[in-house]
Amino acid sequence: MGRNRDRKIVVRHVMPDCKVHRSGAWKLAYADFMTAMMAFFLLMWLLTMETTVQVQGVADYFKQPLKLTLWSGDRSAVDSGALKAGGRDVAIDRQGDTRQTDGRIDRAAHSAQRADDDATKLQSGNIAMQEQVRLHDLQIKLMAALQANPALRQYKQQIRIDSTLMGLRIEIVDSQKRPMFATARDTVEPYMRDILRAIGGTLNSVPNRIIVQGHTDAVPYPDGEKGYSNWELSTDRANASRRELIAGGLDTGKVMRVLGLAATQNLNKADPLDPENRRISIIVLNKKSEMALMQDDTSTTTTVPDDAAGARNSPLPGLTVPAVAAARR
């Protein structure tokens, strides 16, 4: 009995034979996370490559209500009717005036008009975005053309290309050590001629028309404004630049304006005498700016030469047109 009392008892628990199933769901979650991060960083990179105008265009596109984009119509986005049932209701037109309608004919016409307006706005937005992309491509082409030419590459510090409300602006800035024109003359220096001709051939890749502007510093001529002044000099230099653009291949019909602005738009406003203020600006107009300028050209005032009409249309009571002209002199 003593021998059995000292014996150790060992209890063995036998586990059932089963296979351990390891889940791989975390791999799918990790792959989705990495895909989302890659898409996010790609989006950030694309946004940094675009101009401010293009980013604003994309933002305006996504501000369009989804229902209005898909279905349009009177009650697609916001219901302007006070009564949603049939019969007469009180509606608010687009001018903000409250009026009564029969709920059928006027509402249908209003709905059709709103749909047309929304379609027009959407189409205008798409056209504007396409034009922005086209001008951005032109900017890249110009920079690539100047970079590819070894003779012009050294002048890249004097060439500035940026976007404005009117379109794409290309500015060639003067330098103290490297002037674009002969002193107080419109004679184009050889390097300036090469730059203008390289730009002229590239501008034909877009249908947009251009404006050529001449700028000077504020150094006056000895005779002041009475004789040949900075106004004539800036105009002559702008016109000389136009000739070089055409010599480089620019279509003559693309030039819409040649302007001389003297020293009215200085780059360095703190120092009107800074040579940087002497420059040539080439503005590639967007469609909106071009249409505005064309509208200004076609706006005329009709005058009637006879005395009776002159008395009727006279800005001063009791005076005819000849009398008004005499009074002005």
Radius of gyration of the chain (CA): 36
Q: Which pLDDT does position 119 carry in this prediction?
A: 54
The pair of three-digit structure tokens given for residue 2, joined into one six-digit string: 């003593």
List the pLDDT tens digit at each of the 329 positions of the chain: 556 666 777 777 766 655 555 667 888 888 999 999 999 988 888 877 777 767 777 777 666 655 555 544 444 444 444 444 444 444 444 444 445 455 454 555 665 666 566 556 555 556 677 777 878 888 888 888 777 877 778 888 888 988 888 888 999 998 777 889 998 899 999 999 999 998 888 888 888 899 999 999 999 988 878 889 999 999 999 999 999 999 999 999 999 999 999 999 999 999 999 988 999 999 999 888 888 988 876 665 555 555 544 444 444 444 444 443 444 33
Rounded to the nearest 5°, which phi and psi values hold at 222?
A: -60, -35
**Against a cut of 0.75, is the pTM above it?**
no
33 vs 192: CA distance, rounded Å:
54
Number of neighbouring beta carbons within 10 Å of residue 125: 14
3-state secondary structure 207-266: CCCEEEEEECCCCCCCCCCCCCCHHHHHHHHHHHHHHHHHHCCCCHHHEEEEEECCCCCC
Number of neighbouring beta carbons within 10 Å of residue 52: 8
> Regarding beta strands 89-92 and 98-101, do their DSSP bridges make them parallel or antiparallel, or are they unpaired?
antiparallel
Q: Which pLDDT does position 325 carry in this prediction?
A: 41
DSSP 300: -
Identify the CA nearest to 288 among candidates 127, 134, 62: 127
Q: Which pLDDT does position 123 carry in this prediction?
A: 56
The DSSP secondary structure of 97-149, one letter per residue, reads -EEEE-SSHHHHHHHHHHHHHHHHHHHHHHHHHHHHHHHHHHHHHHHHHHHH-
Domains belonging to the chain, first-starting first, are 133-298 (3.30.1330.60), 302-329 (no CATH)
Q: Which pLDDT does position 153 carry in this prediction?
A: 80
Q: Which pLDDT does position 143 carry in this prediction?
A: 81
CA angle, 133 as apex, 132 and 136 as ends, to 5°?
Answer: 85
DSSP 157: G
Q: Which pLDDT does position 11 carry in this prediction?
A: 76
Q: Which pLDDT does position 326 carry in this prediction?
A: 41
Q: Which residues contact 237 (CB under 8 A, 6 or more apart)?
A: 180, 181, 186, 214, 216, 260, 280
Q: Which pLDDT does position 1 carry in this prediction?
A: 53
